[in-house]
Amino acid sequence: MDQLLVAVDVDTSEQALEICDLLRGTVGGFKIGSRLFTSEGPSLVSTLVSHGDRVFLDLKYHDIPTVVAEAVQAASRLGAWMLTVHAAGGLRMMQAAAEAARKAENSPLVVGVTVLTSLDNTELDRIGIPRTVGSQVGALAQLAHKAKLDGVVASPQEVEQLRTQLGREFTIVTPGIRPRKNETRTKDDQVRTLGPAEALGAGSNYLVVGRPIIASPDPLKAARDIVSELETVRRVV
């Protein structure tokens, strides 16, 4: 199932490789975020790429345009398949990231993070953003589209809105996925969540699932259960 990406949110390469070896062939790729990358560095990315894995490098670059462009180039040299920048970094920053990716040898996909799934309207107001979550996601997605990024990261609750706004070609990556029939299901610190079938049906291209799989007593079964649910959606759509 190419659309299911597993967030490998663990501390060591040994743990990460054990999970990836178990799930390889069942899921579509692996997300490496700041926790694992800070612990183990770029060598793990290279190792997974050497195994033929699609690596979604989720470091949310947010800096001046030149620095972000150089980071995108470095991620490309590692073999990252997809990576993130913060859409709040602005048009010029996202344009620099998109251009750097296009010039890179393997041309990784670049997607802009809109509003973190841990934020709601109250939290946005606390950091000085008067818009609702939906309005802020829509505004940043429009900016990412204008910058010619490949897509955005948004919660499943904004997917239908973004499809209407930006059409079918723009890639939408969706975290905050919580399987309905998983015993480990919990929102944790994510407040804008949906189930896998709901998110895929709304128009998500890729679903990012972490704890419901890697914290399960049987991660392979948990992944296969999600894949089965998604295959049902694919037959209906």
Count of domains forming the chain? 1
Q: How far apart are CA 55 and CA 15, in angstroms?
A: 16
Q: Can you tell me which residue has the tokens 């609750």?
A: 157
Residues written for the chain = 237
CB 189 within 8 A of CB 211: no
Amino acid at 15: Q
The pLDDT tens digits for 79-118 are 999 999 999 999 999 999 999 999 998 999 999 999 999 9
pLDDT at 237: 38
Catalytic residues: 60
Contacts of 122 (CB under 8 A, 6+ apart): none
The pLDDT tens digits for 191-220 are 545 688 888 888 999 999 999 999 999 999
CB 163 within 8 A of CB 202: yes
**DSSP 3-state assignment of 186?**
coil
**DSSP 3-state assignment of 146?**
helix
Q: How far apart are CA 203 and CA 181, in angstroms?
A: 21
Cα 187 to chain center, whole Å?
Answer: 17
* CATH number of residue 174's parent domain: 3.20.20.70
Structural domain of 141: 4-236
CB 202 within 8 A of CB 159: yes
pLDDT at 202: 87
Output the average pLDDT for the chain. 92
